[in-house]
Structure 1
């Protein structure tokens, strides 16, 4: 088969298996094995040997052990009152900013993202506090919903990010450098969100009802104390990683231990909370790690049937510039985001796109951050945008209404990508400073 025939065969096979409704991880394995059998003409024995070796090697990946630990930590935080305390602590500090409490969704999501690594956990945990408070005080409904949907996606970008761990494992890129690279882009997007809220509130003050409340120094100090648990967790996790004291997996264990200690000290950790959080973490972790391992089978199969090389040949024939390539990949990932979740997009696409990106000379660290932001766009894009469904449940609004409210933040994310493309050092500077 030529490059066009190989690409078309794999694409059709992937569409058919996914469209059949079977599990995504099963689809990945089926596509890989059928491609090996038909295109590479491997025997069943050889296919079994290759698959067993790949599954065994990837199942024992030390880097993947960070995923269940970070997920469990997020589940514990979700089931305690730390999010409520965080909202109460942020309230006095945003009182004088145009938009006032609308910024608590952005700031709260930014802080919680630094200890959870999950968009869903960030959106749900922050949203169950801020949505009721803001709507009850008369804040603009669309901006309340949209700002939380957009800010919730920061859980994918700001370290410790589970998606960045998956990307690092599959693409064989330093996870520590990826974590460092995600900090400034995450803060940039948070600033874009808050800046948009400030502009909207300045042009139309009615979206954020004014309350003549002043806070004394003692009240500000009391509010700051309520932020301490989350700040301590951020310092423990990120400090352990960036100081070189711990690897991401070790930092995950340290962060989990710190979370348990803090919740015990605050008397918020009951047996029910412990059991429910552990059960949920096991389910989610099993799903994610199974996808990663099955994606490794697909990636290996694609290399045997020379799919990346085939697609690379097609792209070389098109002779796109670097900008055109990135634009093409952006459209590709936004399209995938219409139908798939972030983990599935990452594990399914990287075996194909990573060789192309490397051949084009795109920095793999920069591309990792670009990929995560593309996945963030998918989180707030119907019909499968997961954050939209979370906000639908939290607000009681229809899905189209939630999607319309989120649209400005979709374009703000696109603006963030454009800025990062124009100024790639926003991504690359911190890893270079810390690790050389």
Structure 2
């Protein structure tokens, strides 16, 4: 009976999502349907209490603030300065300026929290410049596609905030847990560029004229504002001076101040950035509210408990369970965005992963990594949509040039499974 109910709800969900209805409303609708038919609990008061509880969390306040900070930086000249600051230092590394994609995304990820914002901002800066200098399109776009996903992993990360609220895990510890994996994954991407450049030296344009150390340092001044903002935001969290929400407010104030100092802040850009952040947060908030109510409805029906019992009854080893979950999230990512994936599945999966012995902090970074993969898998890979808007290329071509980075991320997930200290060591220092 439970299997039939689950199948019915899944089919209904796919039909409603396929109709084009907003994801949040689709989740609410399926939840109402489930509670009305399969539960005796009154729907009205349950919906009101659940929606209010899921959207009034003080911790969640960090989300719109980090979104706004990313929008301010997206509209300022701070991001352009990164290319000028990084370029002279990369001339003699195999792959040369292709590394700007990775390093630029890693730096911007540390102040934006959004994969799409990171990919779009760095892409607008680097793609025209790399094309003008003769770098192959497939490498310029492919490395940007993969490196853009660092916006989810390198803190502050919007999806980490959502997971922390859903799983009741410290957001400050999640942020710390993402630092080392984020840096290592960026180094993996750079290693891929080095190997490709050594195997295809004829496709790499000649180096620019040699620049002396003093000239490099002078150009490096363009990196100082962004680095200062990273230190303020992340330093305030890790030192214990500020919570994630307070640090997000500091980040907004800092990005507004830097944009004003450099002269790129106008009232028009201020309103555009604020309006865009509000729209994105309203979308996320509606998804969170819908998913919370659907989770409540499934709880009353008993599906999460039965699913956990079913998976537990399969007798899967932790490694096999990890592989199953990775495949499940990659498949889910073909149809849903990352935030929807997290809020839809956490209530169902958390009892199972806890009974399997997974640390919830480790599992949070694992979720972020597999959601990163989903960002570059068609048909609903958000980074692919962003790149399609930037390059006007077909989605199939974009997916194909992103595949090497996808498989690198799969390998990286294997690494953090067998060496969990990569994730847990740094937050463990807070104990």
SS in 1 for 2:207: coil
List structure 1 segments (4+ residues) > 4 angstroms apart after TM superposition.
none
Q: Is the 8 A contact 2:312 2:352 kept in 1?
A: no
**Structure 2 counterpart of 1:97, from 93, 96, 100:** 93
Deviation at 1:307, TM superposition (A): 1.1
Instruction: State the partner residue of 1:197.
Output: 193
Instruction: State the partner residue of 1:302.
Output: 298
RMSD: 1.3
Aligned pairs, number:
431
* Correspondence list, 1:25-174, <5 A: 25-42=24-41, 46-174=42-170
**Structure 1, unpaired ranges of 5+:** none
Q: Which moved more, 1:7-16 or 1:248-257?
A: 7-16
Instruction: State the partner residue of 2:240.
Output: 244
**Structure 2, unpaired ranges of 5+:** none
Deviation at 1:95, TM superposition (A): 1.2
CA deviation digits over 1:280-331, x for unaligned, max 9? 1110111112211221112222221111111012112321111111111111
Q: Is the 8 A contact 1:153 1:376 kept in 2?
A: yes
Distance 2:319 2:387 in 1: 34
| 1:256 lines up with 2:268 in the alignment | no
Q: Which moved more, 1:62-71 or 1:352-361?
A: 352-361
Deviation at 1:212, TM superposition (A): 4.3
Deviation at 1:339, TM superposition (A): 1.4
SS in 1 for 2:348: helix
Distance 1:312 1:24 in 2: 25
| 1:234 lines up with 2:230 in the alignment | yes
Q: Which moved more, 1:280-289 or 1:341-350?
A: 341-350
Distance 1:89 1:424 in 2: 34
After TM superposition, the score normalised by the length of structure 1 is 0.96
Instruction: State the partner residue of 1:225.
Output: 221
CA deviation digits over 1:99-124, x for unaligned, max 9? 01000000000000000000010001
CA deviation digits over 1:339-364, x for unaligned, max 9? 11111111212222222212222111
Q: Is the 8 A contact 1:184 1:426 kept in 2?
A: yes
Q: Is the 8 A contact 1:145 1:405 kept in 2?
A: yes
Q: Which moved more, 1:46-55 or 1:105-114?
A: 46-55
392 and 12 in structure 1: CA distance in 2 versus 1, 3 angstrom threshold: closer
Distance 1:30 1:349 in 2: 17
Deviation at 1:40, TM superposition (A): 2.1
After TM superposition, the score normalised by the length of structure 2 is 0.97
**Structure 2 counterpart of 1:210, from 206, 212, 235:** 206
Q: Is the 8 A contact 2:189 2:405 kept in 1?
A: yes
